[in-house]
Structure 1
Amino acid sequence: MFVTRAIRLGSKATSSVSEELRVIAPSKLAIEDVSKSFKTGTGVVQALDRVSLQVGEGEFVCLVGASGCGKSTLLNIIAGLEKPDGGNVLADGKPVTSPGRERLVMFQEPALFPWLDVFGNVLFGLKLKPNLSKKNRHDVAKYYLELVGLSRFEHANIHELSGGMKQRVSLARALAPNPRVLLMDEPFAALDALTREQLYGDIQQI
């Protein structure tokens, strides 16, 4: 597994709606000697072996490697979805021991709620922020739908959307709670090349 620091993003902010609308600015992450293994029917598979990595504020970092080399496992550990066998993960200097709203994940599949429309999906994560009024939550959701170019589809049902549009909804939903870190596990791998490149460009601009 290789690490490439593809793009350095500036940490700018917007104030058009509220402080919650600040552009994503990842916090510093420290991965220290992280190891993880899995038991299988044929033995033990060592997915990660003392992996260490430092991620600075505002960096866009890519993990590159063959299938099965541990990329998804490392992302799950950073997200708090799995625990390492050894080593530590620190976010803003604090140990990661469980999932948190400051570290959100975009998976390979959109993982949207089919019983909610586009607006409802983006709004969902914001309902967990008690400091926001209902109006502010709606304003934030509308802002991110506009940011990903889906304002005209806010009342559309999920089954009416193309694959690229579903991933745009997923991106808006992930950004809306203003996470400090956005983890992406090849969310655009199943899309056609043109749509994939367009979404990568959208993320770089955001």
Structure 2
Amino acid sequence: MNTTASQPDLSAAIQCAAGPEIVPAVLPLLQGGVLLDFMPGCTVESLMVERLGIDPEYAFGRVQTIFLDGHPVDRLEDTVHDGAVIALSAALPGLIGATMRKMGVLSSFRSGISHRNDASITTGGDGVFTLKLFNVVLPELGPEILTRGVFLTAQRFASRLAMLPTAFFQDQPSIILDGREVRLTPDMTALPGIDPAQLLRLTIRP
């Protein structure tokens, strides 16, 4: 189903840059999902390899489970619509994991919930999708994806900072927010001068 209505305006996002020391702190945000821009109508394969920069060998081997809008994917040539939610995972444990594995020998057992391609999806233009990473895929792919830039609200970012242990702030980490340096502190519950609903484009500097 092609759902293009009410997608966030990524062009209005405020730039937020941070050093690699913040990567372990923000990686869990990718489990909940972050926004990225893309060209709607591309295939699942091109989204992983070309848009996310995942090595093809890793994409076809290590990434064993793919969900598109909550449905397990078998065909990497399926197309991705604007507003889609993509979840990537390595092999999940047990019988359920074997059943959900892409092109697995047990995939026929969940045929009723498998993703069905929609040939009517509009191609081209600017689009937005949500990316989620799970288990070992999160630490293996997350840092590189963060260097490419992801979009999330200021509220989600600040809420994550508020959950971090005091020890994280001992080295006085900082971010560059809309061109100004902001020192991160343990008592920070919001980003100074930023509406909580404001979108940020968070980029981790190499």
* TM-score normalised by length of structure 2: 0.28
Task: State TM-score, norm by structure 1.
Answer: 0.28
Answer 1 or 2: higher relative contact order, Cα 8 Å, separation at least 6.
Answer: 2
